Structure 1
Amino acid sequence: MRRTLNALYLGCGMLAAASIVAITALVMAQVTANIIDRIAALVTGRAIGLLVPSYAEFTGFFLVGASFLALPYAFRAGAHIRVGLLITALPPGLRRVADIWSLMVGLALTVFAAWWAVDLTRESIVYGDRSAGLVPVALWIPQSAMALGLIVLAIALADDLVQAVRGRPLSFDGIEPEH
């Protein structure tokens, strides 16, 4: 089970990284098109009018994917903002209670957000919502990345909550915050 969960968290992290690569590729393609356009305008006196259709929308969709799909991996890696100064000052028993409380609140909020993200995605499918742009995209596609990221974050929070209740180390224990 541990291997499966770790693979799930890593898979989300890899999809987030792939989204960043896609953003970079799209922006580079549009910048290259702009450069070619300017050179053509200098040489011939007329711009060609090159563009990557809907690149702004696509990069926005990939940014949503990168942001939400990175959440579970970043949580497990201890990259989320935590109030470490307060928690580390607590005695071990109170620290465990604070960790359990924090994980329960985080899990409740994440499940709530995931529920609404899934409902939003479902509604986009039912109503056939599409993006406004040169290339209309079914909105359920980028919305599903948001829903998936939140669902897997909820799983990661539940995973650590079970560990905390059992008195075992949490995924981010021993990871010192960067100053």
Structure 2
Amino acid sequence: MIRRALDALYGASAVLAAIALFGIFVIMVGGVILRELGRELPAADDLVAYLCVATTFFALGHAFRRAELIRVGMLIETLPPGARRVQEIVALLLTGAGVAYITWWTAQDALFSLEIEEVAQGTVPIPLWIPKLAMPIGSGILLVAILDDLFAVLAGHKTSYIAAAEARAARGEYSAER
């Protein structure tokens, strides 16, 4: 049940990233069409920038689980299984600590923007806490994914990114493994 809930969380986050990416497309196409009609789409640049951040942060957890984030495993992959397990644990602990730090401070920034009622300086006064929420939410989901894999390694299982890379290799897909 927990596994299904976590996988649904990662999937929902990927869907949010896809929606944000589609939003960028819609705004850009709408801007081009309106420009041809002699009009302007207010705050288009601001909205596209916010959606770029949302696309990036919402995709992190899903990409991590599918081994689609950059990972340098040159040292870890040469180690024997016992030492590799220890190094995976250390790497996941350090990564988790860094992502927890990012999550904490981006959440504090969004809350501060809400508290001081900070708005965008563009043509449309968008409350900045709204687009800033994508950062702590997305990095929080990445933190959950990291902890998910940490618990898997501690339990003696493979991490999701190793399993995903092995599945790709079994299918003969080597484009992601460089």
Query: How does the TM-score come out when normalised to structure 2?
Result: 0.90
Greater shift, 161-170 or 82-91, is seen at 82-91
- CA distance in structure 1 between the partners assigned to 2:113 and 2:69 by the alignment: 30
- Coordinate RMSD, CA, aligned: 1.1
In structure 2, the residue matched to 1:155 is: 144
- CA distance in structure 2 between the partners assigned to 1:2 and 1:126 by the alignment: 36
In structure 2, the residue matched to 1:32 is: 33
What stretches of structure 1 of length at least 5 have no aligned partner?
Answer: 38-49
- CA distance in structure 2 between the partners assigned to 1:129 and 1:106 by the alignment: 31
- CA distance in structure 1 between the partners assigned to 2:85 and 2:100 by the alignment: 22
What's the offset of the Cα at 1:134?
A: 1.2
In structure 2, the residue matched to 1:8 is: 9
1:116 correspondence with 2:105: yes
Larger of the two Rg values belongs to structure: 1
* Helix, strand or coil at the partner of 1:109: helix
The one-letter amino acid of 2:114's match is I
Percent identity, please: 34
Matches within 5 A, 1:66-81: 66-81=55-70
What's the offset of the Cα at 1:94?
A: 1.2
- CA distance in structure 1 between the partners assigned to 2:53 and 2:74 by the alignment: 31
- CA distance in structure 2 between the partners assigned to 1:93 and 1:178 by the alignment: 23
What's the offset of the Cα at 1:148?
A: 0.2
- CA distance in structure 2 between the partners assigned to 1:172 and 1:140 by the alignment: 32
The one-letter amino acid of 2:105's match is W
Aligned residues: 167
What's the offset of the Cα at 1:85?
A: 2.8
What's the offset of the Cα at 1:173?
A: 1.3
The one-letter amino acid of 1:162's match is F
